[in-house]
A and B are shown apart, each in its own frame.
Chain A
Amino acid sequence: MIKRNHLLWFLWTLLSVVGITVIMGFVFFGGPRHLLLIGKTTAAHGQIELACESCHTTGLVDNLTKSPKKLAAAMTKACGTCHLEELSAANDSHPTKKFRGAKKAKTRAQLNAFYCQTCHAEHVPEITRPMAVSLPQDLCVACHSKIGEERESHVGLEFTTCASAGCHNYHDNSALYEAFLVKHGHGEDFLPHAIQEFAAESRSPSIIRTALAKEDPVFALKTYLNEKQIKTDDESNEPLNAETKAKLSSQAQEMLDLVLYAKDVIAPAKYLDEDAVHAWETSAHAASGLNCASCHAPELKDSMDLVALEENWTEKPSLQVCSDCHQDQATTFTQGKHGMRFHPELAAPRVVEADGPMSVAATFFKDAPLGPITVGESARKDLMKPDAHDMQIGSCNTCHKPHEVNLEVASVEACTTCHNDDHTQNYFNSTHFELWQLELAGEGAPGSGVTCADCHMPKVEAKEGFFTSHNQNDFLRPNEKMIRPVCMSCHGLGFSIDALADPKLVESNFNGRPSKHIESIDWALKREE
């Protein structure tokens, strides 16, 4: 009887160990990993929460042996992988380095902002507030408790209002800092010649197409390049010398030589769709000398072998293909909610060494990349159109019409294919939309209309010229980030601050005027007196 009991216990233990190993292996490698979550993450991180090692960069051994400080530092470093560039561009008011060293010991005892997770703890949805902040709203009191004694204007203000009343942000105060308020504090609500400079340039007729329509295209293009060069060298204000003129003339000829026409198209017969060829012929791609294979079979982009091209043809080119030329756009795309599952630093699928103890489980349950998100997986799918829930977001052609010469579709229509919130719906009754319609009708100057993309994906300065940021979330965290690159193209600073601090006005898509006035500019100007 005793022997039989021992045998049963042994069998029970063995089966339990095997069973648990199989279940853990299944969960760990490609199974329902969400069962291991200790709590949901914030909306954006929710998309990548199952790529655990993206944030949890320390392994099991480190977690058991390293000090809490070292583990916290590793986590903060992981945050920086995706967010440091954005913070740096915003001239972060509270970089973590502000809290390091012995000299900041007192501050750290109050608020240890040397680590991101002090304010932005994850997996705690029950205490997480907007902007993924998991600390109480009065966190500023830790360092600025005496502000009421130093500034008359701040006497009696609650510390819960510092970052919620339209005056300050913890990280990005690039449009809210005092000297900026003073400098732009007297601006009018509506600027007299409201034009978005970069959008105007982007939406103006192509210089090459315009030149080609002239009697002497080389002369026309050279003239344009001359004017641009003089504008660039504005400070010198000197006429261009003969050498520069000859160089520009040769440059104009080279640009025109690149232009391809319908007769130049190289593609397997089955893909020679008349509409597609026509759209391509009038596109910037054809004007830059890019034939079909440049995107559809990039490895064979210079090949004339139609059989080989057909064998290697990709009907819907990937993000990687577009990013070869549109690098800034692709990079920023992977930094926003639309493309973050393709961020290059995201943890790769889990693999296990062939001779590792979990290799048996790994044989059966293989991990896979996260892949594109569907609209239905969005944390705010309640604000999306139900018939778009199955749509995958993860490639350029989700929003961009292939071969389309202009970006009208990507600027408004593409957004409203999925987004269905009040702000989006009200856009079509807004002044911004009215201006966009006028611009489309040719009654408004290029850059005078305001599309969804103009505000949420603004054109920002690059090393050479500008590019359209494809990180639409960057300018919403918080919304004051729109003030400088967007609002101030057409509005004064005061109006912009008031408008963005009025949630009802935002919801109505700015139909009306701000219902309240933020006093920060008044206070800043008063201190100047």
Chain B
Amino acid sequence: MSKIINMLVGGALLAAIPVSTTNADGIDPGDVTDMLHAVMDSDRTIYTKMIVGRLVAEHKLITATENFEDDISAPLPAQMFRMGAEAVADRTDLFEYSLQSLWPINKPNAENQTELEKEGLAFVADNIGENFYGEEVIDDLKYFTAVYADVAVAEVCATCHNEHKDSPRTDFKVGDVMGGVVIRIPLDG
């Protein structure tokens, strides 16, 4: 008898636990990329301001350089971002992201930009404060692609890009859109 009571109580408890927190249609991919970007952008901004801006530029306690391993220095914010993207790609192929620009320092990186990506980069540069969303097919797979403006949040962002010998643009100021974060989610599973 006690077993039957236990089963009934257990069954009632299990039934009370929600099966899923999502609605029947799932989460809108635009909301997902917005959430992902919020995390990326916050981390990136804090690294740029608190490490590079504060410890490198302001207090000159450490340096941040492109060849950070040989120089025993801190990675540049863009490198920190790229390493994060690579670490994510090591763990999952449910989404991917990268930093892109219409004025790239690393030219081969921009060789891969799709037409939609270029359109998005131009859009976020021309429409301050707005994001770009679209869908595209790459290698027979359908992707939801979002582009978010990458803004020069600190003086070091602008000066570093302006002074880099491979930079095709040398008039960036704080607050300027320097490129974009591109996030892709495969829609075909």
Contact = CB atoms under 8 A, between A and B. Distances in A.
Interface in A143-157: 143-144, 146, 150
B96 A102 contact: yes
Interface stretch (B37-45, B54-62, B63-71): B63-71
> What's the dominant secondary structure at chain A's contact region?
helix
B171 interface: no
A291 B90 CA distance: 48
Given A102-B143, A179-B66, A144 B108 contact: yes
Contact of B111 (A100, A107, A180): A107
B112 A104 contact: yes
> What's the dominant secondary structure at chain B's contact region?
mixed
A146 to B, nearest CB: 7
Contact of A180 (B67, B107, B108, B186): B67
A180 B70 contact: yes
A142 to B, nearest CB: 10
Contacts of A527: 165
Interface in A96-143: 97, 100-107, 143
A174 B67 CA distance: 10
Q: Which bracket fits the contact residues of B? A: 20 to 34
B137 to A, nearest CB: 10
A105 B112 contact: yes
Interface string A153-170: 000000000000000000
Interface residues of A, number: 20
B1 interface: no
Contact of B184 (A91, A100, A102, A179): A102
Contacts of B93: 101
A261 interface: no
A105 B69 contact: no
A91 B98 CA distance: 20
Interface in B83-129: 86, 89-90, 93, 96, 98, 107-108, 111-112, 114
Nearest to A484: B70
A177 interface: yes
B165 A106 contact: no
B141 interface: yes
Contacts, number: 47
A97 B86 contact: yes
Given A102-B96, A180-B70, A97 B111 contact: no
Contacts of A144: 108
Nearest to A107: B112
A150 B112 CA distance: 17
B15 interface: no
Contacts of A143: 108, 111
Given A97-B89, A177-B67, A180-B70, A106 B111 contact: yes
B5 interface: no
26 contacts: A97-B86, A97-B89, A101-B89, A101-B93, A102-B96, A102-B138, A102-B139, A102-B143, A102-B184, A103-B96, A103-B182, A104-B112, A105-B138, A105-B139, A106-B112, A106-B114, A107-B108, A107-B111, A107-B112, A143-B108, A143-B111, A146-B107, A146-B111, A150-B107, A150-B166, A179-B70
Given A101-B96, A146-B107, 20 more contacts: A91-B69, A101-B93, A101-B184, A102-B141, A102-B184, A102-B186, A103-B184, A104-B112, A105-B138, A106-B112, A107-B108, A107-B112, A146-B111, A150-B107, A150-B166, A179-B67, A179-B70, A180-B67, A180-B70, A527-B165
Interchain residue pairs A-B with the least CB separation, the first 4: A102-B138, A101-B96, A106-B112, A143-B108
Interface of B: 66-67, 69-70, 86, 89-90, 93, 96, 98, 107-108, 111-112, 114, 138-139, 141, 143, 165-166, 182, 184, 186
Interface of A: 91, 97, 100-107, 143-144, 146, 150, 174, 177, 179-180, 527-528
